[in-house]
Structure 1
Amino acid sequence: MENLAKDNISKLLVKYSIPAIVAMLVTCLYNTVDRAFIGSMEGVGAYAISGLGVTMPLFTLIGAFGIAVSVGGSTNISIKLGSGEKEEAEKLLGNVFALELIGGFVVMVVGLVFIDDILYLFGASENTIVYAKDYMSVILMGAVINLSGFSLNGAIRADGNPKLSATIMIVCSLLNLVFDPLFIFYFGFGIKGAAIGTVICQFITFLWTTYYFTKGKSNLKLRMKNIRLQKKHVIAILTIAITPFCLEIVTGSIHLVTNKFLQGYGGDLAIGAMTTITSINLMFLMPIYGLSQGMQTLIAYNFGAKEYVRTKKILLQGMFAAFVFLSIGFLLTRFFPNMFVNIFTKDAELEKICLEGMKIYLMTLPLLGVCVLGPIYFQSIGKIKQSIFLTLLRQVILFIPIISIVSKILGMKGVWMSQPMADVLAALIVGAFLIKEIKSSTKNNEIEKEVV
């Protein structure tokens, strides 16, 4: 068994990051497939992908509840299993499942009843509402199985079977590659076909995870008597869930704010262009999120062991790896932009807007390693206030005021420029926080050695 406080840092980073990176890439593939096939729909692809962009704030808000309850439940289940309280862990599993079932039902009913109002609020127009509604109405009908299946997949990791959890994600993502073109083009369902393919994959996840916890070789069992809300367990779940929920809500709000500015200064196709550009951006950012998960375990362990020099080395090696990878991404998108844009659209007008926007929007891609990994460092050493502040810094504290001011001065160009401006400022501030913290921990380490 490896020694996290002694073994080679580079090897440990690879070992602990690769599974998370694979999982993140699979998630990225899941989202990219829908957008790529929708964008390739002949004659309507440009407005269809714009319609998909309109649904992103709502999609994120639904996901916020699912992710939050899953994280809150899985964390509590892990704690109970660690303390040998299997019966309590099973009660928590039942409460998580019940919460997601109820939440999914509420989302489905409210979403379907007010779908037009919601989509117009999120930036839909007369040109894009039909595509946004076709896609989201199907997604909403699958909300119950989506949220409950997602929560059980998270619980599989807590149950001690992360490989199965990753396998389910990978298999369903690959199936989505088959279902999307089948329902979009062969059956002629258009954008609604993409949603049908996604919901079918979510249903397979639901069946697979439910079988695992009822008939499979799970440590915990999902029992009917436990599928009910119990105040004690609900409070325990929601106490931990509040932080990821708020962060996901912030993400959804950013989509909403951005869509409003895009609609105002560039119209429907500008929203489609942003959907395309952010999809390209995620191709390179997802591995960095995976790297951050591997780093988090190693930094937390070494900080707890007071190995502050190793903690600093893990951070620096992780940031160097992120910088190299993101710099490669920057060069690829700079010299071969059409190759990436054409994955999502062949429409000449939309392609032109994408290319103009991508050149500006992705100019700070190499800096994003600092913005992503810096907050994770503070989270890993238990400094949650700094972590939350730095997490919100780039996309909320800086981005919203910048886009509000710069877009008024420069119009659509200002909308594209706002994110890189926020990235530069965020990287500088995060960097300053990290330097101060590393100096402080190094000084404390020297004092402790002198005392010893």
Structure 2
Amino acid sequence: MDIKDVLNSNIFKVWVRFILASVVGVVLNTIYTVVDGIFIGQGVGEVGLAGVNIAWPAVTLIVGIGLMIGIGTSSIMAIYMGKGKNKKAEKTLGTCISLIIIVGVTITILGLIFRGQIIKILGATPDTMQSAIDYYTIIFIIAIPYMFATALNPIVRTDGRPDLSMIMIGVGAVANIILDWLFVMKLGFGVKGAAVATSASIVISMTVSLYHFINGKATIKIKKENLKVDTTIVRRILKIGFVSFAIQISYGIILLTQNKTMFLYGSTIDVAIYTVATYVNCFLVNTCMGIAQGLQPLIGYHYGAKKYKRMNQFIYITICVCILGGVLVYSGIFAYGREIIRIFGVDSKNIEFAYKMILIYCIGSPIIGIIFTMSGYYQAIGKNIYANIISIGRGFVFQFIFTIVLPPFIGTTGVFLSLPLAELITFIILGVIVLIESRKKSITLLKNKSILINVL
């Protein structure tokens, strides 16, 4: 879609084109993450699920760096494209590509050299050690493709091709499901097979996106002369994208803390049930993240073009949809939670406990979308302090505090309760931020009116 069409076409048509494609892509991505969990649960069992969960905090480093570079780059590109400065957008993209390669090589080498020590730090026990190290090793081998696939997805949307972004993930998701079935269930490769299936899907997504920017019909192209790293652009990318990095890394730190807390106050079964809870919740969380990511280029385009009224309309539509979606998702979990849990191979004697814990863990569903939407909005317009407060508050600070404070009194239930409590406090803080910004705008408007009256 041409930038002029985005800025002037029917608002609902533009919203659906960008948001729907982003959400479908993220949902497909979530599906192949969850499919890993289903096949591991069915083919390996609860120990396999726990092993993957133990390795995942390290994997969030790769995902976090990819998102930081990708979201930062796409936000800068969107503003430049809104101003009609495509050459600067191409220079930004070139720096992004080089930055991924440099960082990716470093992460791969260090991650593989110290994998044994890292897995131990992450809390692997004798029964989960092999599963954790198998999954970790294969994912770190493809760290560079993983970063490319993660970073280029939002950039493809910003280039005006949300449909291609969806196709990238869709093709990868289908490949992952087929290969999971083959490697885990048929050939019996276990956790290692699931990691290989995921790796193959990531390489496919990376290949499609790189082809688009090199030989495809991209508006913004990858050009050799733009691949030299511009440190000024790097600083801007990292400053804007840090919120996305912080979300992923805080998730990894929280997961590490919660895994250790689970083992302290519970057992491998508790870790496995918590893993299932995160898989169930990730459908809504990732969908809301997809909505926010789809909205970001729209915010950037309109902010750059100074079309603020239309920009606000996009935000209002998004928030309403998120609230409705959250209510529907939680209703679905309430009605069919037990059936969902059984799919992951949890022992029948643990179903009722798992169901109760998942209901607690997901109770904040109606407000998650509002938090992600507003965090994405502040990130897109460069108000990184607000974006950091919202994202890091929800994903790390408050959840971390509750994870430490609650379990000594109520056991592992405190770990499951930490997320909804963190979301409630973050929602209250978000309300305060919105009121502060509204007041600032009112004061500025009154000052401008006063100046105009004095001039007249």
Instruction: Give the TM-score taking structure 2 as reference length.
Output: 0.84
1:354-433 map, 5 Å: 354-379=354-379, 383-433=383-433
3-state secondary structure, aligned to 2:188: coil
Change (3 A) 1:78 1:441: closer
Asked whether the equivalents of residues 345 and 351 of structure 1 are also in contact (C-alpha less than 8 Å), the reply is: no
Shift in Å at residue 321 of structure 1?
2.5
Rounded to whole Å, the distance in 2 between the matches of 1:58 and 1:290 is 22
Rounded to whole Å, the distance in 2 between the matches of 1:381 and 1:237 is 13
CA RMSD of superposed structures (Å)? 3.5
Q: Is 2:59 the counterpart of 1:59? A: yes
3-state secondary structure, aligned to 1:307: helix
Q: Which amino acid aligns with 2:411?
A: G
Q: Which amino acid aligns with 1:127?
A: D
Asked whether the equivalents of residues 64 and 245 of structure 1 are also in contact (C-alpha less than 8 Å), the reply is: yes
3-state secondary structure, aligned to 1:26: helix
1:25-44 map, 5 Å: 25-41=27-43, 44=44
What do the CA deviations read for 1:308-349 (whole angstroms, capped 9, x no partner)?
9x83x6555433332222111112211221122123224335
Most deviating of 330-339 and 366-375: 366-375
Asked whether the equivalents of residues 18 and 162 of structure 2 are also in contact (C-alpha less than 8 Å), the reply is: no
Asked whether the equivalents of residues 5 and 307 of structure 1 are also in contact (C-alpha less than 8 Å), the reply is: no
Most deviating of 141-150 and 90-99: 90-99
What do the CA deviations read for 1:45-102 (whole angstroms, capped 9, x no partner)?
111011111112111111112222233444555667766564x766654543333233
Partner of 1:341: 341
Q: Is 2:193 the counterpart of 1:193? A: yes
Q: Is 2:262 the counterpart of 1:262? A: yes
Partner of 1:283: 283
Change (3 A) 1:438 1:178: same
Shift in Å at residue 400 of structure 1?
1.7
Rounded to whole Å, the distance in 2 between the matches of 1:424 and 1:4 is 35
Change (3 A) 1:321 1:409: same
Rounded to whole Å, the distance in 2 between the matches of 1:314 and 1:214 is 31
Asked whether the equivalents of residues 78 and 297 of structure 2 are also in contact (C-alpha less than 8 Å), the reply is: no
Change (3 A) 1:89 1:254: same
Partner of 1:138: 138
Shift in Å at residue 362 of structure 1?
1.8
3-state secondary structure, aligned to 2:49: helix
Change (3 A) 1:295 1:161: closer
Instruction: Give the TM-score taking structure 1 as reference length.
Output: 0.85
Q: Which amino acid aligns with 1:103?
A: V
Identical aligned residues as a percent: 26
Change (3 A) 1:422 1:239: closer
Rounded to whole Å, the distance in 2 between the matches of 1:18 and 1:49 is 31
Q: Which amino acid aligns with 1:405?
A: V
Change (3 A) 1:129 1:261: same
Change (3 A) 1:155 1:401: closer
Rounded to whole Å, the distance in 1 between the matches of 2:384 and 2:165 is 28
Where structure 2 has 5 or more consecutive residues not aligned to the other structure, the ranges are: none
1:43-442 map, 5 Å: 44-75=44-75, 86=87, 92-218=92-218, 222=222, 229=229, 231=231, 234-235=234-235, 237-293=237-293, 295-296=295-296, 301=302, 304-305=306-307, 307=309, 311=312, 315-349=315-349, 351-379=351-379, 383-438=383-438, 441=441
Rounded to whole Å, the distance in 1 between the matches of 2:6 and 2:62 is 40
Rounded to whole Å, the distance in 1 between the matches of 2:198 and 2:230 is 32
- How many matched pairs? 446
Q: Which amino acid aligns with 1:30?
A: Y
3-state secondary structure, aligned to 1:342: helix
Change (3 A) 1:157 1:272: same
Rounded to whole Å, the distance in 2 between the matches of 1:436 and 1:179 is 51
Most deviating of 152-161 and 256-265: 152-161
Most deviating of 356-365 and 237-246: 237-246
Partner of 2:21: 19
Shift in Å at residue 38 of structure 1?
1.0
Rounded to whole Å, the distance in 1 between the matches of 2:14 and 2:91 is 35
Q: Which amino acid aligns with 2:133?
A: K
Where structure 1 has 5 or more consecutive residues not aligned to the other structure, the ranges are: none
3-state secondary structure, aligned to 1:336: helix
Q: Which amino acid aligns with 1:256?
A: L
What do the CA deviations read for 1:109-152 (whole angstroms, capped 9, x no partner)?
22222222212212211111111111121111222333244445
Asked whether the equivalents of residues 97 and 152 of structure 1 are also in contact (C-alpha less than 8 Å), the reply is: no
Shift in Å at residue 219 of structure 1?
5.3
Change (3 A) 1:104 1:383: closer
Rounded to whole Å, the distance in 2 between the matches of 1:252 and 1:370 is 22
Change (3 A) 1:92 1:393: closer
Most deviating of 47-56 and 12-21: 12-21
What do the CA deviations read for 1:395-419 (whole angstroms, capped 9, x no partner)?
3232222221111111112222222
What do the CA deviations read for 1:225-274 (whole angstroms, capped 9, x no partner)?
76565656545544544443334322222222222222211222222211
Q: Which amino acid aligns with 1:166?
A: M
Shift in Å at residue 164 of structure 1?
2.5
Rounded to whole Å, the distance in 1 between the matches of 2:448 and 2:61 is 46
What do the CA deviations read for 1:384-434 (whole angstroms, capped 9, x no partner)?
322321222223232222221111111112222222222222223323433
Asked whether the equivalents of residues 394 and 426 of structure 2 are also in contact (C-alpha less than 8 Å), the reply is: yes
Most deviating of 111-120 and 436-445: 436-445
What do the CA deviations read for 1:204-224 (whole angstroms, capped 9, x no partner)?
234334444444444566566
